[in-house]
Copies of this chain bind each other. A is one copy, B any other.
Amino acid sequence: MAETSPPLKDELDIVIPTIRNLDFLEMWRPYFEPYHLIIVQDGDPSKTIKVPSGFDYELYNRNDINKLLGPRASCISFKDSACRCFGYMVSKKKYIFTIDDDCFVANDPSGKQINALEQHIKNLLCPSTPLFFNTLYDPFREGADFVRGYPFSLREGVPTAISHGLWLNIPDYDAPTQLVKPLERNTRYVDTVLTIPKGTLFPMCGMNLAFDRDLIGPAMYFGLMGDGQPIGRYDDMWAGWCCKVVCDHLGLGIKTGLPYIFHSKASNPFVNLRKEYKGIFWQEDIIPFFQNLVLPKECTTVQKCYIEMSKQVKDKLSKLDPYFDKLADAMVTWIEAWDQLNPATAS
């Protein structure tokens, strides 16, 4: 009897940013072992990261990144999990799943282990419906459909570019909320997947995230964070805002909801506050910037959209702080580096 091959086995890479031995993979073994891993080692490159035996992986440390990208390596953050986006760039697969190394397998309410990757793949392989809200949530899920009053012309939906998964146990709160609610745990399993409507921004978390590289890869840049930068913990947020604007412009969809992972440990809220506090101010201007950002019709590829966005960041956000001038330049460098490593799809 032939075994069933895991879905998208040869078309998906799992990207893991880390500074430590990857013991967390033991719990994921039944789900991740068939797939190829791209490990992006952050911090001291002389340190050896142990990967449990049996996993198929490639590992890049800072020296590797510098060697591969040369001066363009400046766009890849150091000492911040934002470095993970190097893995998106170096992959040759159509799909990426990225997960933090403090995330474990969660259980559904019946006590059954959740195969997060399988659910992400389901999300990515069926359409999104950003143009009209369906009150029974994902109409493509078994046992659901479009409800009365949903226009038939919109029922084909649009291709799904991103699947944003959630977290049981430690919720993804900012430092102020962590400080105010140190004991809050997310125990509510909400059994749904839904499309974020067109024109609506959302806070994208990089902890448990999958996407279609071919559709949105070049916009999945996690910005300049960590070492030498005035800000941290906005890497995934930045990528999410950029990606949402590009998806809305190009007619692509973003889903959020299932699958859950179990997030084991809250990061230190005091450290987080130091990383976040400028972002807490800046996001009050960044959000209206992205809400009002219009991409011209000529922007027909992700790369073109992204370059145009970098110009508008420079024009409109640099007055907030010189950091945005540097970030706008890094966005251009990122696209150059992407095209260098992915010449077939270069802009």
Chain A contact residues, CB within 8 Å of chain B: 109, 132-137, 143-154, 164, 166, 171-174, 176-177, 181, 184-192, 196-205, 233-234, 236-237, 240, 256, 276, 280, 283-284, 287
Contacts and interface: CB of A to CB of B under 8 A. Distances in A.
A314 B145 CA distance: 33
B132 A200 contact: yes
A264 B330 CA distance: 58
B200 A172 contact: no
Contact of A144 (B132, B148, B186, B205): B186
Interface centre among A147, A171, A186, A188 (most CB of B within 10 A): A147
A201 B145 contact: no
A203 B147 contact: yes
11 contacts: A132-B200, A132-B201, A133-B200, A136-B186, A144-B188, A145-B177, A147-B205, A148-B276, A149-B205, A191-B191, A199-B199
Given A132-B287, A135-B166, A200-B199, A188 B143 contact: yes
Nearest to A194: B194
Contacts of A186: 136, 143-144
A57 B134 CA distance: 35
A287 B135 contact: no
The 4 closest A-B pairs by CB, nearest first: A149-B203, A133-B202, A197-B200, A149-B237
Contact of A153 (B185, B190, B196, B284): B284
Contacts of A173: 145-148
A149 B234 contact: yes
A151 B191 contact: no
Given A132-B202, A133-B200, A201-B133, A172 B190 contact: no
A202 to B, nearest CB: 4
A280 B155 CA distance: 13
A42 to B, nearest CB: 20
B181 A145 contact: yes
A4 to B, nearest CB: 26
A196 B172 CA distance: 22
A194 to B, nearest CB: 8
A137 B258 CA distance: 13
A177 B146 contact: yes
Contact of A149 (B196, B200, B240): B240
